[in-house]
Amino acid sequence: MSIHSYKNKKVLITGGLGFIGSNLARRLVGLGAQVTLVDSLVPVYGGNLFNISDIRNSVACNISDVRDPHAITYLVQGQDFLFNLAGQTSHMDSMTSPREDLEINAAAQLSIVEACRAVNPNIKLVFASTRQIYGKPDYLPVDELHPIRPVDVNGINKLAGEWYHLLYNNVYGIRACVLRLTNTYGPAMRVKDARQTFLGIWVRSLIEGAPIKVFGDGKQLRDFNYVDDCVDAMLLAGASDIANGKVYNLGSKEVINLGDLAAMTVGLGYGGQYELVPFPAERKAIDIGDYYSDFSLISRELGWEPSVGLEEGLKKTVEYYMANNQHYWDASK
Ligand SMILES: NC(=O)c1ccc[n+]([C@@H]2O[C@H](COP(=O)([O-])OP(=O)(O)OC[C@H]3O[C@@H](n4cnc5c(N)ncnc54)[C@H](O)[C@@H]3O)[C@@H](O)[C@H]2O)c1
């Protein structure tokens, strides 16, 4: 099955009003799918109706919470695909509100796969996991065989979320696969604060003329995916039966340290400056150090390669927020 086979298929996206979910929805609408978005729109997370303003009349939107098993059981009925992206994404919040993270990222995930087993075992599931579960890498690049050692509550619960999907694939034959995303950025990411990604607050600082704050010595290595590349990976994983029961890393060949990334961001031509500041202790305690992934498995098996370069992606992102910032933050605050 190719990604063009989404035409006329019924697709449910949990977390569909969030950053990646809304970009995925837009692509699926373009491919002719019948798309339903589920999102709780809890204000501290990334959901934002503006993210789908251009496709609002082409998707069904259901404002409900994945922690409600009755709503989920109703919503998964008759769907061909479920892209399961609803999540509490803040690592810091997982430490201050660990039970909420458990309820969304683990318990609700169990309800979702249970609902599929009960009313729609023929559905195909794609779960958005995170590279955070590896913890501090023993070696680089990190492949899927690297030990799992979460450094925060979020990592533990996302791992449980992954395994509910894999278990239901293995035991009940409900087709499911897992993508371990690395830092994903682009239009529609949460830029109001640093809850979702530090790049969000960097973009806001750049546009507001405030210095970008780089924690530590700026030497920390990271890889980044532009959201369109991440969406490509999700569509390929959903469309492929080779992916069933598998875990794939996403990543990029463009590995960069955060100091150089800040320099690249201020060098885009929109002004701005950056400064190195001491790592806040509470962030340092759950930091994973250098990270970049080996994503050769998904390249080999599904033919996925990221195609948007970092500089090009950053430019598109900054331009998007320059044009639309009023929908993402209140400039008076
Ligand atoms: N963006 C990244 O860099 C990144 C990296 C690794 C993993 N991920 C994973 O990808 C997925 C999507 O992340 P995103 O970056 O688009 O974040 P996001 O916060 O923009 O999207 C998540 C969406 O889920 C919704 N949501 C949260 N709790 C919910 C609940 N209980 N019921 C219904 N909806 C709920 C939020 O309102 C939000 O719209 C998440 O599962 C996240 O863990 C993202």
pLDDT digits (tens, 9 = 90+) for 177-209: 999 999 999 999 999 877 778 899 999 999 999
**Tens of pLDDT, residues 136-185:** 999 999 999 999 999 999 999 999 999 999 999 999 999 999 999 999 99
Residue 208: exposure state from Cβ atoms within 10 A (0-12, 13-18, ≥19): exposed
DSSP state of 293: B
Residue-level pLDDT at 44? 84
Continuous segment of H or E residues that includes residue 39: strand 34-39
Q: Cα separation of 302 and 26, whole Å?
A: 22
Contact 104, 39 (CB under 8 A): no
pLDDT band at 17 (very low <50, low <70, confident <90, very high): very high
State the CB neighbour count (10 A cutoff) for residue 18: 29
Question: In ligand 1, which atom is closest to the CA atom of 84?
Answer: 41
Contact 142, 293 (CB under 8 A): yes
Residue-level pLDDT at 25? 98
Supply 141's token pair.
């690049």
Residue-level pLDDT at 209? 94
Could you tell me the distance, in angstroms and rounded to a whole number, from the CA of residue 269 to the centre of ligand 1? Answer: 31
Q: By percentage, how much of the chain surpasses pLDDT 70?
A: 99
Question: In ligand 1, which atom is closest to the CA atom of 225?
Answer: 3
DSSP state of 216: T
Residue of the CA atom closest to atom 21 of ligand 1: 18
Residue-level pLDDT at 43? 85
Annotate 185-203 with b (16+ C-beta within 10 A) or e (fewer): bbbbbbbbebbbbbbbbbb
Could you tell me the distance, in angstroms and rounded to a whole number, from the CA of residue 13 to the centre of ligand 1? Answer: 11
Residue-level pLDDT at 137? 97
Residue-level pLDDT at 333? 66
Supply 196's token pair.
């979702």
Q: Cα separation of 146 and 291, whole Å?
A: 12
Supply 261's token pair.
């990334």
Continuous segment of H or E residues that includes residue 34: strand 34-39
Per-residue three-class SS string for 76-108 = HCCCCEEEECCCCCCHHHHHHCHHHHHHHHHHH
Q: Which of 48, 64, 85 to mutate to test the pocket of ligand 1 (most atoms within 8 A of CB)?
A: 85
Q: Among 25-34, 116-125, 271-280, 304-313, where is mean pLDDT lowest? A: 271-280
Residue-level pLDDT at 45? 86
Residue 33: exposure state from Cβ atoms within 10 A (0-12, 13-18, ≥19): buried
**Tens of pLDDT, residues 214-255:** 999 999 999 999 999 999 999 999 999 999 999 999 999 999
**Tens of pLDDT, residues 43-69:** 888 899 999 999 999 999 999 999 999
- pTM, two decimals, is 0.97
Residue-level pLDDT at 5? 83
Contact 17, 47 (CB under 8 A): yes
Supply 86's token pair.
């609803």
CA 34 to chain centre: 22
Residue-level pLDDT at 317? 98
- Give the Å distances, CA to CA, from 216 to 12, 188, 195, 274, 289: 41, 27, 18, 13, 11
Q: Cα separation of 25 and 18, whole Å?
A: 10
Residue of the CA atom closest to atom 10 of ligand 1: 128
Q: Cα separation of 110 and 80, whole Å?
A: 19
Residue-level pLDDT at 189? 95
- Check the CA dihedral 255-252-163-13 and report its sign: positive
Could you tell me the distance, in angstroms and rounded to a whole number, from the CA of residue 210 to the centre of ligand 1? Answer: 27
Could you tell me the distance, in angstroms and rounded to a whole number, from the CA of residue 103 to the centre of ligand 1? Answer: 14
Average pLDDT over residues 298-315: 98
Is the per-residue pLDDT at 287 higher than 90? no
* Structural Rg of the chain based on CA atoms: 19
Is the per-residue pLDDT at 302 higher than 70? yes
**Mean of the per-residue pLDDT values of the chain:** 95
Residues with CB under 6 A from ligand 1: 14-15, 17-21, 38-42, 45-47, 65-67, 85-89, 104, 108, 128, 130, 181, 183-184, 190, 196-197
Annotate 153-169 with b (16+ C-beta within 10 A) or e (fewer): bbbbbbbbbbbbbbebb
Could you tell me the distance, in angstroms and rounded to a whole number, from the CA of residue 122 to the centre of ligand 1? Answer: 25
Residue-level pLDDT at 11? 98
DSSP state of 165: H
Residue of the CA atom closest to atom 26 of ligand 1: 86
Residue-level pLDDT at 197? 80
Is the per-residue pLDDT at 35 higher than 80? yes
**Closest by CA position to 307, among listed 233, 247, 237:** 233
pLDDT band at 1 (very low <50, low <70, confident <90, very high): low
The CATH class of 3-184+224-249 is: alpha beta
* Domain positions in the chain: 3-184+224-249, 187-222+254-291+309-327
CATH superfamily of the 187-222+254-291+309-327 domain? UDP-galactose 4-epimerase, domain 1 (3.90.25.10)
Could you tell me the distance, in angstroms and rounded to a whole number, from the CA of residue 18 to the centre of ligand 1? Answer: 6
**Tens of pLDDT, residues 74-96:** 999 999 999 999 999 999 999 99
